[in-house]
Amino acid sequence: MKLSSLNRTKVLNRMQHTAYDVVIIGGGITGAGIAFDAAQRGMKVALVEMQDFASGTSSRSTKLVHGGLRYLKQLQIGVVSETGKERAIVYENGPHVTTPERMLLPMHKGGTFGPTTTSLALKVYDYLAEVKKSERRVMLSAKETLAKEPLVKPDGLRGGGSYVEYRTDDARMTIEVMKQAAEFGADVLNYVKSTGFTYDKKKKVDGITVTDLVSNTKINIKAKKVVNATGPWVDEVRDSDYSKNNKQLRLTKGIHLVFDQSDFPLRQAVYFDTENDKRMIFAIPRDGKTYVGTTDTFYNNDKQNPKVTQEDRDYIIAAINYMFPSVEISDDDIESTWAGIRPLILEKGKDPSEISRKDEIWEGKSGLLTIAGGKLTGYRHMAQDIVDLVAKRLKEEYKLKFPESNTKRTPISGGDVGGSMNFEQYISSHVNPKLFNILSQDEQEAIICKYGSNHDDLFAIAQICGGKSYKDMPVSLYAELVYGIQNEMVYQPTDFIIRRSGDLYFNIQQVFEYKEAIIKVLAELLHYDSSEVEMYTKALEDKISEAVSPSIQVSTE
């Protein structure tokens, strides 16, 4: 089943006339994982998301599938152990959206970690996360540390630790999981807002009321069980139910800054502590850029559009200049930014960085199931836990039986590449020389690397073009855009430019050069009227203004 924007009306109609086993509110990585697990077990599944898929927390993270070394410092052993083990599973099932990344942990006099504590912490980390031998920690001298990354502050350097984390594209991971859920039969739609619950005679939740924000159509979706997986909006959704418990979220904000490698030529990923508060920060090279984050501050403002403040920027820039003094980064060097919200479970009296990242499941008297907390890395296990509970309740209340979860051994969409060990060989062996007049070898490899086993669909779209650019767009970009409309439910320009491609953060020149062409293609294929063109163009310009440094906007005009 394709996840296409071209059949929204059909899916909405099906949702209105189907009795589902479970309906999921929320289209981030948690909701996508739940839909995937439930649909694979044979449940009838529906999912609605009020914005675009992954538009909240799931596209605004540090873009790492990691066990969380810093949680050892807080003695959150269970979190480290579970998420550490999940890293390998997530990587194996989607090597096209997850990549092992050697992380350097420099040690300075007076810093958070010394040689003994670092060696011990990394050894415990390797043990808890069951890290494979080739990825275990390596301890380095000061000279070896500087050889790995010459930009690291040499003054007071005592050495370093090298260990492996997994870099990911969080939004693309979410959409690939969502596509796999759809392939197993789940009905999923973005831009459909849940507005309330329906109840049976026993005051048990038996569905939700929703509004399709594209057509302004209002319908009821009936289901035996309802799962609230809305991340930062968990409490608002529960406010519509009569049986809300005394649990609640505590939101924190994290921001990231992006620099061009010409300004911040980082060779490899570095995990370092700040000078004053000793918080840990990531600096990560990616696609010709270096991005740095994250902050961790309490947040009570607009959940849909968290902003990067000057205070946030100053904090990260100070951290960079402390650890990489020769770079001399300033505000003017920032190319783009993003801000995200962590939906953590309230623990009174704790600072933002001290609150546990552990997930919890809450079950109301109405039967509403809510999942809150957790980390990107643990999405699959979180989904398994709550679908186990859904299956248990369906058996108890409706005598329905479903098998155990099998997502641990099931690739996500695009992940059928013969396993992580064979992915590089898969890329090289699927380059098609017959298409070199349409897509160069580099372009083909980039598509295969990004879309995995779905690359043939993009190659087919490119072939239809016959090697000619469309509306002045490169054929590869056009193929990605059309594929996004036909297979990834792209409906608005921001869906593609921010979440399907990541270009707003990591390829801003391409955004400025082709944004009008992208809007034209979307308008033609999705039949925008003039008001929609105006509205979506403004929405894109607002996002560009929000994310991109004014100096970059001026220099690219």
Q: How far apart are CA 24 and CA 35, in angstroms?
A: 7
Contact 518, 479 (CB under 8 A): no
CB 485 within 8 A of CB 478: no
- Cα(455)–Cα(444) distance, integer angstroms: 8
Q: Is the preceding peptide bond at 294 cis, omega within 30 degrees of 0?
A: yes
CB burial of 488-511 (b: ≥16 within 10 Å; e: otherwise) equals bbbbbbbbbbbbbbbbbbbbbebb
pLDDT at residue 349, rounded to an integer:
63
Q: What is the pLDDT of residue 263?
A: 96
d(Cα 152, Cα 161) in Å, to the nearest integer?
13
- pLDDT (tens place) for every residue of the chain, 557 residues total: 678 888 899 999 999 999 999 999 999 999 999 999 999 999 999 999 999 999 999 999 999 987 666 666 666 677 777 777 888 899 999 999 999 889 999 999 987 777 887 888 788 778 877 778 888 889 999 999 999 999 999 999 999 999 888 899 999 999 999 999 999 999 999 999 999 999 999 999 999 999 999 999 999 999 999 999 999 999 999 999 988 777 888 899 999 999 999 999 999 999 999 988 888 899 999 999 999 998 989 999 889 999 999 999 999 999 999 999 999 999 999 999 999 999 988 866 666 665 666 788 999 999 999 999 888 889 999 999 999 999 999 999 999 999 999 999 999 999 999 999 999 999 999 999 999 999 999 999 999 999 999 999 999 999 998 777 777 899 999 999 999 999 999 999 999 999 999 999 999 999 999 999 999 999 999 999 999 999 999 999 999 998 886 555 444 43
Find all residues with CB under 8 Å of 311, minimum gap 6, and list them.
none
The predicted structure's pLDDT at residue 375? 83
Tokens of 142: 């000061």
Q: What's the half-sphere exposure (Cβ side, CA atoms, 13 Å) at 283?
A: 28
* DSSP class per residue in 359-384: -EEEE-TT--EEEE---GGGHHHHHH
- Say what the pLDDT of residue 88 is: 87
Helices and strands in the chain: count of H runs, count of E runs? 19, 18
d(Cα 541, Cα 547) in Å, to the nearest integer? 10
Q: What is the Cα gyration radius of the chain?
A: 23
Q: How far apart are CA 19 and CA 222, in angstroms?
A: 5
Taking the C-alpha atoms of residue 340 and residue 126, their distance in angstroms, rounded to an integer, is 29
